[in-house]
Amino acid sequence: MCGFVRSFCLAMSSTSPQLRGSIVALVTPMHEDGSVDYAALRNLVDWHVAEGSDCIGVVGTTGESPTVDVEEHCEIIRVAVEQAAGRVPVMAGCGGNSTAEAIALARYARKVGADCQLQVVPYYNKPGQEGQYRHFAAIAEATGDLPIMLYNVPGRTVADLQHATVLRLAQLPGIFGIKEATGNLERAQWLIREVPEGFGVYSGDDATAVALMLLGGHGNVSVTANLAPRLMHALCMAALAGDLAQARRLQQQLLPLHRQLFVEANPIPVKWAVQRLGRCGGTLRLPMTELEPGNQALVEAAMHQAGLL
């Protein structure tokens, strides 16, 4: 187990989570034939280390987890960990709507040295609150030595991890925080107010992330950081430090990106935009298709407004 994980696990009992700041929800580069471009993945990891991303999250929704197969999923985690080489923590997307599969992915991520895992609410099969609790509790029991960030995004999963269930899960060893991606700031504030010390609340919604952090959140799992990692890191640091003027300035600079990167379903716009920066190819796997030409103009305009082009 790497040094970061050891210190991270110790931090579970401290007054604040070890993981803070900008966590990029990294795209998965692909060749024109749709195969994973591992060389480009390594380059992206190096770029994010150089640009100041505080953590690299791989094989989440933005990383096209629904369309990579299990072998690719595992190899993306392994390559990212290997390339990061301890310079920045790696959060491995290990979620699934099968509890057994989620545990298997987490065990692999732990084996290859990931620093923490992201576990999404099971999608499509619509478990109730007790089913969700038992799902995450089973993962924590099996792989809780690889710190777990819960992920609630009901707009995609349909099932919604309710406040009371989060509070139950926050008591379990190994679960250190939640990616709250509803964009509902009142909901996030109640979590921040009522979760135990040492449990982190992270935004999963770029547009409202700065407000969540100013209200006591711990960071942002960011799509925008794929394009502007240095700016997103600076935004998070300003918000976490309570520097309202700087946070406001950076938020206004990035606000058009926050909007236009969701002009179509994620990761369609961001994959196009990363290609536009020349960082990797823009190939997506079906059923995702390339960004519509009219929307390309919107994303490009937002990139200009952010000073990226």
- List active site positions: 151, 179
Annotate 263-301 with DSSP letters as a single string: SSSTTHHHHHHHHHTTSS-----TT--PPPHHHHHHHHH
Cβ pair 228, 308 in contact under 8 A: yes
Integer Cα distance of 213 and 193 in angstroms: 13
Residue that the structure tokens 């070890």 belong to: 18
| The two structure tokens encoding residue 53 | 């991303």
Integer Cα distance of 231 and 143 in angstroms: 34
Integer Cα distance of 195 and 249 in angstroms: 30
Sequence-distant (6+) residues with CB within 8 A of 180 are 152, 187, 188, 191, 201, 202, 203, 204, 205, 212, 217
Integer Cα distance of 237 and 218 in angstroms: 10
Integer Cα distance of 239 and 146 in angstroms: 28
Integer Cα distance of 172 and 301 in angstroms: 45
Integer Cα distance of 17 and 13 in angstroms: 9
Integer Cα distance of 26 and 40 in angstroms: 12
Cβ pair 78, 44 in contact under 8 A: no
